[in-house]
Structure 1
């Protein structure tokens, strides 16, 4: 199995039809590519891990199935073990510890990307580039805003990645701003 973005995107779109989940996948891919550049990782591999981390979620949304079913599919298709491990480690419930910088980055950007998209959607201009760090932090305290986003995972991801919260939020906003047209923001 050749590991490239084209095959990863084909897998994603084979299993995922929801526009919001596709945008989430694109946003996580973009944040992962940015962190790969920053941390000296393989940009293609990190981006692919971000792109496919939730590919199975639409069909297997329960904690009992996601990301286990997806990882079974990845193994059957001959995906590399480091990608599979990263996908497994992005879910706290799997018990797979995050050891590598790629695994830590994936966990750190996953929930935050979803939250940042929600922050942009409620702006009158719907521009991700105009989302401010202080506004994000304020909204993080409002449990009724984007209530499905796990704030504990965001905090734990920041801690595991070893970055400052403000710096991490700004970094991901800037990364997502680079693909704002694809995200509709």
Structure 2
């Protein structure tokens, strides 16, 4: 079976995931994966769609509940394999969760692991800005947030560091690649910032 289209992947995400924040996380990972595929000369569609669907089953099968073989992402990968999705994509989705024990052998799998947690940290960094805009986030700010263990506690800092190392990309450069990708897609990610307040005409001009 050829790679399903992005519209098919997006339909799958919407069918399985009601949470808007989780949907936007998958969109964030998608845009980061497309940026890395372009940078590395890889298949942009395969990489983007892998990022888009990597968490599609998470809402129904949250991890650490029933065991690694009957939870996210194993359940989702069963669905993808049954539908004939590419095995390289399925292996990468399995490998982005450490507890599955599936090794990350391909560049695709390594990149998915490297960008997953980082997109969450960048999103959180944007949402605490007064503007709530990812355009106002910079690499130095993300590094500072990484050191603040009380900030975005759910983000695994070690995964970000190990992921960049596995890609052989310096950490600051890795953050910059993902940050720039998310800034370019700020509107669909919900990170374009607050709308400006309506202008008030000067007194006497009304």
| TM score, norm. by length of structure 2 | 0.88
State the Cα distance separating 1:135 from its structure 2 match. 1.1
**Partner Cα distance (1:154, 1:116) in 2:** 11
1:74 corresponding residue in structure 2:
80
Q: Does 1:89 align with 2:95?
A: yes
Deviation at 1:66, TM superposition (A): 1.0
Distance 2:185 2:80 in 1: 27
Give the corresponding residue for 2:197: none
Secondary structure at the residue paired with 1:180? coil
Farther-moved stretch of structure 1 (71-80 vs 105-114): 71-80
Residues in 2 aligned to 1:166 and 1:93: alpha-carbon distance in whole angstroms: 27
Partner of 1:6: 7
| Rg larger in structure | 2
Tell me how far 1:107 sits from its aligned partner.
0.5
Moved over 3 A (4+): none
Instruction: Encode CA deviations 1:73-116: one digit per residue, 9 max, x unaligned.
Output: 11111111111001001011111111111111100000000110
> Which runs of 5 or more structure 2 residues have no equivalent in the other structure?
192-206
Aligned to 1:105: 111
What TM-score, normalized to structure 1?
A: 0.97
Residue 127 of structure 1 deviates from its aligned partner by 1.3
Alignment length, in residue pairs? 185
Match of 1:138 in 2: 144
Structure 2 partner of 1:172: 178
Give 5+ residue unaligned stretches, structure 1: none
Map 1:114-133 onto structure 2 (within 5 A).
114-133=120-139
SS in 2 for 1:181: coil
Residue 132 of structure 1, CA deviation:
1.3
Does residue 150 (structure 1) correspond to residue 164 (structure 2)? The answer is no
Greater helix proportion: 1
Residue in 1 that maps onto 2:39: 38
